[in-house]
Every structure is written in structure tokens, then in C-alpha cells.
Amino acid sequence: MEIYKDRKRGLWVENILFVCTGNTCRSPMAAALFKHLNNSDQLNVQSAGVFAADGSDASTFAKEALVEKGIACEHSSALLNEEHIEWASIILTMTNSHKQSVIDSFPHAGRKTYTLPEYVGYNGGDILDPFGGSLEMYRLTRDDLEDLVKQLLEKIKSK
């Protein structure tokens, strides 16, 4: 079994957790894109939200934006909890405020928590929240996430 090592940060990367606010838009799209683009059975993915209600479906536009790319999204939202934190090798948030929420609630997760843009090498920047917006906003977010997830996979597999 191959586990990917991020030597710079001293992390073994096997279980990736994407985190957003309600776990109905960005993090489920990121997880679905990751599953679609990932060709390794050694990398696992989940998503959760810092203010999520357990059991909600992904938003209609999130699913529609993914279907346009041929990606199915089977999803049930989850409030971020200690089990997620313990499971995750790395926690990738959609914004700096999500990152801070994770660290405030789970201080021991600080060493493995990053924003997705930060982890792939961008300085700052948050991923647009399409919640309540048009399908076009969801497409823009999906496209941003797709680019970032591709970079994430390249980075992990180059370790």
C-alpha cells in the first residue's frame, strides 16, 4: 500500500477531508471532483461542514454543475466532529475562516489544517461560496475547485 508523504509538512496523506460551512455546496463538490479525478485507491475523501446539519443533500445546483461534467454526487451532509478530525490525514478548508473555525474547535488539528488554495501553493484567497446564487455561480465554483483538486492530486502524487 502506497501512502503519500508531504515531506515539507511532515504529513502522511491518505485521508483527505474537505470542509466548508454547511456541507451542501463547496466541500461536497470538492469531494466529488476528487473521487472523479483520483486514480489511486489509496487516497480516500470525505467532506463536512463547520455549521452543517447532518443528513442534508447537496444543493440542487451543486449536483447539476457536477452532472454537467459527468460526475454523480451521492451526498449526505455532516457536521464536522472529532471522528472526522481523527480520520483525516489532512483537512482542506474552503476559506480562512473555515480553517480558523476548525482550529478553534479542534486545536490538535492545527498542524494538518490548511485552506485548499494555501495547500496547493496559493497565498491567501478563499473559494467563492455559491450558496443561494445562480447555476452560473456554481459552475464558476466547480471550475475553480476542479483546478485546485487537479493541483492537489499532482502535489500529493509527486511526493
Give the confidence band of 109 by pLDDT, cuts at 50, 70, 90.
very high
Q: Verify whether residue 25 is a known catalytic residue.
A: no
Q: Verify whether residue 20 is a known catalytic residue.
A: yes
Q: Name the burial class of residue 158, with classes exposed (0-12), middle (13-18) and buried (19+) by CB atoms within 10 angstroms of its CB.
A: exposed
Catalytic member of 26, 73, 142, 144: 26
Percent of the chain whose pLDDT exceeds 90: 84
Give the confidence band of 24 by pLDDT, cuts at 50, 70, 90.
very high
User: β-strand 11-13 against 15-20: which pairing, if any?
Assistant: unpaired
Range 65-84 average pLDDT: 97
CA pair distance 146, 157, nearest whole angstrom: 16
Catalytic member of 6, 126, 129, 139: 129
Catalytic member of 20, 25, 73, 142: 20
Is residue 13's pLDDT more than 70? yes
Question: Cell for 132?
Answer: 443561494
Q: What's the longest Cα–Cα distance across the chain?
A: 43
Is residue 111's pLDDT more than 90? yes
Q: Verify whether residue 7 is a known catalytic residue.
A: no
How high is the mean pLDDT of the chain? 93
Range 28-56 average pLDDT: 95
Give the confidence band of 2 by pLDDT, cuts at 50, 70, 90.
very low
CA pair distance 112, 85, nearest whole angstrom: 9
Give the confidence band of 1 by pLDDT, cuts at 50, 70, 90.
very low
Residue 149 CA to its chain's centroid (Å): 8
Lowest mean pLDDT among 6-10, 65-69, 137-141: 6-10
